[in-house]
């Protein structure tokens, strides 16, 4: 049976993070929000909604937020880690689609491009081009390489020595998983663009993502075996993770 926890990096998402956390907790038992140096009350809203929160004192980008918070989850009993964004563009109601495939696949990535009319034109075409390039690099038949909504087996993540910065961490996980030849699948997800502020820069970040895949492709930072949760416990114990606010949602 799968035991799944969620990791949500967040930067200035005070208006959306609470609803995202509450929605995710309807499907998984634990959420860790990494507040990436927000200047608003993102951390408080997340804790009040039922999330554990790790707060970074300054903004370091999505890559470092994911890499900083991940050991706390990899040290635990979780078989899979669900990753999604805090800005409300990922719908927690799509989570059952990931859970249904968890027993069969090690990496499941959301696919937003099945409804291209729902995506702003510039973002669709930069994503499409980036996806074609990364399909060649990873060996996966990718349909939406830049979707941060994904489910990854914890044993696979524990074998990765992640170094990616900004949004390239999503690419790094794909490339390293491709080297490991893990079972892979897509699941259709909705995309929600209702005026939320996104920190993704379509052209600049797509170029960064594609070119960052080159060193990931030749880098050897993949462990031969899963070192187990105990390997990450010293790192996890050093992280100042705050519990949910008493009385918040618990799923």
Structural domain containing residue 98? 4-223
* Distance in angstroms (rounded) separating the CA atoms of residues 97 and 90: 13
pLDDT mean by block of 10 residues, the chain; 251 residues: 91 97 98 97 98 96 95 98 95 97 96 61 60 68 80 97 82 87 92 58 54 56 90 97 77 46
Those residues whose C-beta lies under 8 Å from the C-beta of residue 100, and which sit 6 or more positions away, are: none
Which residue is listed with tokens 């249904």?
Answer: 100
The answer to whether residue 231 sits within a structural domain is no
Quote the CA–CA distance of 163 and 116 in Å, as a whole number. Answer: 31
Instruction: Tell me the CATH number at 22.
Output: 3.90.550.10
Q: Tokens standing for 242?
A: 């705050």
pLDDT for res 175: 85
pLDDT at position 239 is: 97
Beta partners for residue 9, in sequence order: 34
Query: Is residue 177 assigned to a domain?
Result: yes
Residue 42, in any domain of the structure: yes
> First and final CA of the chain: distance in angstroms?
19
Q: Are 78 and 154 in contact (CB under 8 A)?
A: yes
In a domain, 228, yes or no: no
Is residue 33 in a domain?
Answer: yes
Q: What are phi and psi for residue 51, nearest 5 degrees?
A: -90, 150
Quote the tokens at residue 202.
């379509």
For the chain, strand residue ranges (E) read 4-10, 30-36, 52-56, 80-83, 107-111, 150-153, 184-188
| pLDDT for the residue 171 | 84
Q: Does residue 247 belong to any structural domain of this protein? A: no
Residue 47 lies in a domain: yes
Residues 6+ apart with CB under 8 A from 245: 44, 47, 48
C-alpha to C-alpha distance for 45 and 242, rounded to whole angstroms = 13
Is 232 within a domain? Answer: no
CA atoms within 13 A on the CB side of 102: 23
Predicted confidence at residue 172, as pLDDT, reads 87
What value, to the nearest 5°, has the Cα angle with vertex 38 and ends 33 and 40?
105
Crossing angle for the helix pair 121-138 and 168-180, nearest 10 degrees?
A: 30
Buried b (16+ CB within 10 A) or exposed e, 100-131: eebeebbbbbbbbbeeeeebeeebbebbbebb
pTM of the model: 0.84
What total number of domains does the chain contain? 1
- Report how far apart, in Å, the C-alpha atoms of 209 and of each of 13, 111, 201 are: 23, 17, 11
pLDDT at 251: 46
Q: Classify 59 as helix, strand or coil.
A: coil
């Amino acid at each position: 049976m799968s035991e799944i926890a969620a990791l949500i990096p967040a930067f200035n998402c005070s208006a959306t993070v609470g609803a995202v956390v509450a929605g995710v907790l309807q499907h998984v038992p634990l959420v860790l929000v990494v507040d990436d140096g927000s200047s608003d009350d993102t951390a408080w809203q997340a804790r009040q909604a039922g999330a554990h929160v790790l707060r970074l004192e300054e903004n370091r980008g999505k890559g470092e937020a994911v890499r900083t918070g991940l050991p706390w989850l990899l040290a635990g009993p979780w078989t899979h880690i669900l990753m999604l964004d805090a800005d409300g563009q990922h719908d927690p109601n799509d989570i059952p689609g990931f859970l249904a495939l968890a027993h069969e696949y090690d990496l499941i990535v959301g696919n937003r491009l099945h409804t291209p009319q729902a995506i702003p034109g510039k973002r669709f075409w930069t994503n499409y081009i980036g996806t074609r390039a990364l399909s060649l690099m990873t060996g996966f038949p990718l349909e939406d390489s830049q979707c941060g909504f994904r489910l990854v087996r914890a044993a696979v993540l524990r074998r990765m020595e992640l170094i990616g910065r900004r949004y390239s961490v999503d690419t790094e996980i794909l490339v390293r998983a491709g080297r490991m030849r893990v079972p892979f699948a897509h699941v259709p997800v909705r995309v929600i663009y209702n005026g939320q502020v996104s920190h993704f820069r379509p052209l600049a970040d797509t170029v960064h993502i594609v070119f960052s895949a080159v060193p990931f492709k030749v880098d050897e930072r993949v462990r031969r075996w899963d070192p187990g949760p105990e390997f990450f416990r010293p790192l996890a114990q050093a992280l100042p993770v705050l519990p949910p606010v008493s009385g918040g949602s618990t799923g």
